Amino acid sequence: MLQRQTIRERPVPGLAHAFVFWGFVAFGGYTITEFLRGLGIVDLTHTRGFYLYRLALTPFAIAVLGGIVFLAVRRAIFRPVALGKTVSVESVVIAFFIATLMVTFLLGWRLDEASPAGRVNWWVHSFVILAFLALIPASKHFHLVLSPITVFLRSPELGNVPNLDFEKEQVGLEVVKDLGSKTVLDAFTCVECGRCQVNCPAWGAGKELNPKTIILQTQGALLEGARDAKLAGIYSEKVLWQCTTCGACENQCPVGIEHVPLILGTRRGLVSNGDAPDYLGGMYNNLERRSNIWGLSYDQRQKFVDSSALEIFDPAKHDVLVWLGCAGAFEADFQKSLRSLFEILRARQVKFGVLSKERCNGDPAKRTGNEYMYQELANANIADLKAAGPKKILTSCPHCVKTIGDDYKKFGYEVEIVHSSVFVEELTREQLAKAGTERASITFHDPCYLGRYAGKVDEPRNLLTRFGAEIKEPVRNRDNPYCCGAGGGLLFADKEEEPGSRISDVRFKQLQATGANTVVTACPFCSIMLKGAQASAGADTHFVDLMTFVKERL
């Protein structure tokens, strides 16, 4: 009703669209009343109430007229890239219809309704409404009818991909007839605004993936009635593997279209037929043999646990369970970040422990469509977590927050899980930076799974400013960050074979453009990707993890 999503990203065109929408709603009663009179059912148009209603509609009419003229000029003359290369005749006709409706309404104040001019005016208005009603179902303006339904039915959880039920022999989306009813509704609700497209990091880096095209291709296949056509053939396999699952498309779509379940569902269909790209084979092998993405042995994790003097979690003794994650347990760089976290926790007398054994949470399997492997990992982790019985889990990996916090709920396991930025922000609220701490000019890269999925954008910033940072915001920040390019299994992709630029290179340039000499990250995978981009750029930008930044300044 408030058109928040439409206005948020594009305030001026969004407001113009909102005027048209609010006018559409406000004029509903007027149109019905005039038609009741025209059909000879009842004439309420000469009552005082109707006169006042018409009076109240006048500013709406002016706003709608201004809005539609602006939108038509923008579409026909300025031609933003998101709206496509051609101007559709349909859009021009609709804009003309809306403008005509408003002009004829306003003329109604000037013309005597019984005069020939007044009658022609009334008929033009009514004829345009009838033509409009006939045009709506056959055009993208069907969103007038469908979008309230898709917005209402949209999952409250971003990137919600329900579990497959193997007992019902579900294997994912393979052909058109496998598409769910919400996806079908989505395909006919798309207004082709291109918000998903311009926010997609893959499209932004020059790859073939365009989430708007995916939706329109779905619509095309449904209209053709090609029920048995393979989805991977409709979208192209290559494109499906370019998605990082960052959620930007879905998050920006003003009409509640859910792209991520469609893309991941189709990946599941491919994986169930053995059609995953080669680079995923190694990662799946590692998960199967060693339960971590790197394929390292458990001894490595144990060494880290011992050298950090970590205790095994005991609910009677510890307040919180620290989930190390694949990166924290095995990746040397991120182990430093966890050591900083442990120091902060110990300094603030937080009693914490870890599991004696952890598997990967399953995110890389789930988001590359290997549902069977994901469910095996998730069920084993859930059994261990239930046995350990933590009330609260703390982790430095935003992917673990999403998977354990949201995805494990679908197995009936609910636990409070917080990212270290949120936990430490609360823990150090009364604390100041140590004396002599210099101000640092930094830029913060919001991880997609922290900023967009979990909506945690203030906590890392509060921590940074509290401990002496002057933040220079990059383009695409807070809850609409530009992805680092690691999600959806792309951490393992062969970058040399990708078309266009690397997503991480594009993001690194955006961070560099802030002029800050330090980049702060809060996700192990963002850190790996962006450091890789820094190395290929040969830049001397300094990287620091959020926990280490805080620890050094406490």
Nearer to ligand SF4, 253 or 378 (CB): 253
Nearer to ligand SF4, 212 or 230 (CB): 212
The DSSP code for 175 is B
- Please report how close the Cβ of residue 67 comes to ligand SF4 at its closest, in angstroms: 18
Minimum Å distance from CB 1 to ligand SF4?
A: 18
- Would you say 122 or 508 has its CB closer to ligand SF4? 508
DSSP state of 229: S
Q: Which is nearer to ligand SF4, 195 or 461 (CB)?
A: 195
Question: What is the C-alpha end-to-end distance of the chain, expressed in Å?
Answer: 46
Do 292 and 330 touch, CB atoms closer than 8 A? yes
Nearer to ligand SF4 by Cβ, of 120 and 223: the residue is 223
Question: Which residue has 């999403």 as its token pair?
Answer: 402
Site for ligand SF4, rule CB under 6 A: 190-196, 199-202, 209, 211-212, 215, 243-249, 252-253, 255, 257, 259-260
CB-based contact 545:340 (threshold 8 Å) = yes
What is the total residue count of the chain? 554
CB of 512 to ligand SF4, least distance (A): 22
Least Å distance, CB 194 to ligand SF4, is 5
Extended beta strands in 226-373, E state: 320-323, 352-353
Closest separation between CB of residue 197 and ligand SF4, Å?
A: 6
Q: How far is the CB of 476 from ligand SF4 (least distance, A)?
A: 11
- Which helix (H) or strand (E) covers residue 519, if one does? strand 518-521
Closer residue to ligand SF4 (CB): 33 or 510: 510
Tokens of 237: 């396999």
Reduce the DSSP state of residue 177 to 3 states and report it: helix
Q: Which is nearer to ligand SF4, 442 or 454 (CB)?
A: 454
Helix (H) or strand (E) holding 458: helix 458-466
CB 420 to ligand SF4: min, Å: 25
Task: Rank residues 190 and 283 by Cβ distance to ligand SF4 and give the closer one.
Answer: 190
- Neighbour count for residue 225 (Cβ, 10 Å): 9
Q: How far apart are CA 195 and CA 178, in angstroms?
A: 27
Query: What gap in Å lies between CA 210 and CA 531, rounded to an integer?
Result: 27
Find all residues with CB under 8 Å of 186, minimum gap 6, and list them: 150, 215, 218, 256, 257, 258, 262
What is the Cα–Cα distance from 201 to 549, expressed in whole angstroms?
28
CB of 458 to ligand SF4, least distance (A): 23
